[in-house]
């Protein structure tokens, strides 16, 4: 595809360098270059551009950024920044930019970024989901993995799973993969990475689904710094439209930091002895504090039998909070996940999968 480009860069020297890189490539037709944002908006229609490259480091550009998408809805917009700034990238996404790249760049860098961000999906901020349980054996990993596959199928957008259960994560087993990289390398390198260089750390495990694996050995969990893990989750949001993080059980630095960063938390447990409702009740106050500041928090109970509305109300009465979802037990799903066949043999006809599909549909449709 030939790109007809409008370039906006406030620094004259950088403008000249970037314009030269674009003119040297047969892929790009540089229609016009501007040092100011407002003239670029006012004069670009005559050139019929299909790509804008806009300096987002400059405050003026951020002010006008959403106007590019409004005035040129058929054109793509890439932001340009000198150093990677995740918060700035988020603001650009909110304004309708498909993604950001570093400057100066080579022409092939722009092409690669375009392919990466088109695969991501809509130029909208990422949705980040954290899956928390007070104790293990909650069905947390099953929910995260099936939900990821259903989100990818329904939305057609890129989805990633990050296995933050650093000592005993099971997601690689669920998909029968042994990725060459893990969260250890990604967190170690994140300060030096951009979205395009972070992407190879993820292993594709299904149609539209990628995985960042947990460490190979339990003792390697000590090598992961919590702040760096949050940075990886944050940067993943520029690569993937949906970011799902499977957390270790219980409150610890990792589960607290990631659930605090995520825009949506699933708090869940598996009914067994009856003590699980008490554990959920004790956990909920911390999430209620976050909920008051706009975070979405959902309470789920799995392995519910009978899985009926009457049973949900009974659990809710004991729990003392809203129960958003109850999920039935399904041994066939467990057999599929434990054998690594999840991506190949998702039993869509089973009630558990259908329940999770409805959750995915609500997310895609903006109801959650």
How many other C-beta atoms are found inside a 10 Å radius of the C-beta of residue 262? 25
CA–CA dist 294, 313 (Å, integer): 25
> Domain boundary residue among 120, 145, 167?
120
Q: Are residues 131 and 110 in the same domain?
A: no
Q: Are residues 338 and 247 in the same domain?
A: yes
CA–CA dist 287, 157 (Å, integer): 28
Q: Are residues 173 and 104 in the same domain?
A: no
Please tell me the predicted confidence (pLDDT) of residue 349: 79
Calculate the alpha carbon distances from 122 to 82, 116, 193 in Å. 24, 12, 23
> Domain boundary residue among 103, 120, 137?
120
CA–CA dist 352, 225 (Å, integer): 35
Q: Are residues 222 and 160 in the same domain?
A: yes
Please tell me the predicted confidence (pLDDT) of residue 346: 73
Q: Are residues 331 and 213 in the same domain?
A: yes
Please tell me the predicted confidence (pLDDT) of residue 135: 87
Q: Which CATH number fits the domain that encloses residue 51?
A: 3.40.50.2300
Calculate the alpha carbon distances from 237 to 7, 126, 270 in Å. 25, 5, 29
Residue in this structure with the two tokens 């149609």, named with its chain if needed = 207
> Domain boundary residue among 102, 120, 138?
120
Tokens at residue 75, please? 């054109």
Give pLDDT tens digits along the chain (368 positions): 689 999 999 999 999 999 999 999 999 999 999 999 999 999 999 999 999 999 999 888 888 899 998 999 999 999 999 999 999 999 999 999 999 999 999 999 999 999 999 999 999 999 999 999 998 878 899 999 999 999 999 999 999 999 999 999 989 988 989 999 999 999 999 999 999 999 999 999 989 999 999 999 999 999 999 999 999 999 999 999 999 999 999 999 999 999 999 999 999 998 877 788 999 999 998 887 776 677 899 999 998 989 999 999 999 999 999 999 999 887 667 666 665 667 666 777 788 889 999 999 999 999 99
Please tell me the predicted confidence (pLDDT) of residue 9: 95
Please tell me the predicted confidence (pLDDT) of residue 312: 93
Calculate the alpha carbon distances from 314 to 210, 307, 330 in Å. 38, 11, 21
Q: Are residues 91 and 207 in the same domain?
A: no
CA-angle at 12, arms to 9 and 16, nearest 5°: 85
Tokens at residue 165, please? 């259960």
Tokens at residue 329, please? 């037990």
Using alpha carbons, select from 247, 242, 230, 255 the residue that is nearest to residue 148. 242
Please tell me the predicted confidence (pLDDT) of residue 220: 94
Examine residue 306 and say whether the peptide bond preceding it is cis (omega within 30 degrees of 0).
yes
Q: Which CATH number fits the domain that encloses residue 203?
A: 3.40.50.300
Range of the domain at 66: 3-120
Helix/strand/coil (H, E, C) string of the chain? CCEEEEEECCCHHHHHHHHHHHHCCCCEEEEEEECCHHHHHHHHHHHCCCEEEEECCCHHHHHHHHHHHHHCCCCEEEEEECCCCHHHHHHHHHCCCCEEEECCCCHHHHHHHHHHHHHHCCCCCCEEEEEECCCCCCCHHHHHHHHHHHHHHHHCCCEEEEECCCCCCCHHHHCCCCCCCEHHHHHHHHHHCCHHHHHHHCEEEECCEEEEECCCCHHHHHHCCHHHHHHHHHHHHHHCCEEEEECCCCCCHHHHHHHHHCCEEEEEEECCCCHHHHHHHHHHHHHHHHHCCCCEEEEEEECCCCCCHHHHHHHHHHHCCCCCEECCCCHHHHHHHHCCCCCCCCCCCCHHHHHHHHHHHHHHCCCC
Could you tell me if 259 and 132 are in contact, meaning their C-beta atoms sit under 8 angstroms apart?
yes
Examine residue 315 and say whether the peptide bond preceding it is cis (omega within 30 degrees of 0).
no
Q: Are residues 85 and 140 in the same domain?
A: no
Q: Are residues 241 and 210 in the same domain?
A: yes
Q: Are residues 110 and 172 in the same domain?
A: no
User: Phi-psi category of 304—alpha, beta or left, where left has phi over 0 and alpha has psi -120 to 50?
Assistant: beta
Q: Are residues 252 and 347 in the same domain?
A: yes
Q: Are residues 193 and 333 in the same domain?
A: yes
Please tell me the predicted confidence (pLDDT) of residue 343: 65
Domain count of the fold of the chain: 2
Q: Are residues 256 and 358 in the same domain?
A: yes
């Amino acid at each position: 595809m030939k790109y007809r480009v409008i370039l906006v860069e406030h620094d004259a020297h950088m403008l000249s360098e970037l314009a030269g890189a674009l003119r040297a490539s047969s892929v790009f037709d540089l229609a016009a270059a501007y040092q100011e944002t407002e003239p670029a908006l006012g004069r670009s229609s005559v050139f019929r551009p299909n790509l804008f490259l806009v300096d987002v480091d400059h405050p003026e550009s951020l002010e006008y950024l959403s106007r590019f998408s409004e005035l040129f809805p058929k054109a793509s917009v890439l932001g340009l920044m000198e150093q990677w700034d995740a918060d700035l990238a988020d603001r650009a996404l909110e304004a309708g930019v498909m993604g950001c790249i570093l400057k100066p760049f080579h022409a092939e860098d722009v092409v690669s970024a375009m392919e990466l961000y088109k695969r991501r999906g809509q130029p909208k901020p990422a949705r980040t989901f954290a899956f928390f349980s007070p104790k293990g054996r909650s069905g947390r990993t099953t929910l995260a993995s099936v939900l990821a596959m259903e989100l990818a199928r329904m939305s057609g957008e890129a989805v990633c799973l990050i296995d933050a259960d650093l000592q005993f994560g099971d997601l690689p087993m669920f998909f029968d993969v042994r990725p060459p990289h893990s969260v250890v390398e990604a967190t170690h390198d994140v300060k030096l990475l951009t979205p395009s260089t972070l992407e190879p750390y993820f292993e594709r495990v299904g149609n539209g689904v990628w995985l960042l694996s947990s460490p190979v050995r339990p003792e390697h969990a000590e090598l992961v710094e919590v702040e760096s893990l949050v940075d990886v989750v944050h940067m993943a949001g520029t690569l993937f439209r949906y970011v799902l993080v499977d957390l270790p059980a219980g409150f610890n630095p990792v589960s607290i930091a990631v659930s605090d960063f995520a825009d949506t938390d699933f708090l869940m447990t598996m009914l067994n002895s009856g003590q699980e409702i008490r554990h959920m009740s004790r956990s909920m106050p911390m999430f209620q504090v976050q909920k008051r500041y706009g975070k979405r928090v959902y309470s789920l109970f799995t392995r519910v039998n009978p899985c009926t509305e009457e049973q949900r109300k009974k659990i809710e009465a004991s729990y003392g909070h809203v129960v958003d979802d109850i999920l039935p037990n399904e041994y066939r799903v467990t057999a599929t996940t434990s054998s690594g066949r999840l991506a190949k043999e998702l039993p869509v006809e089973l009630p558990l999968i259908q329940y999770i599909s409805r959750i995915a549909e609500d997310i895609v449709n903006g109801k959650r």
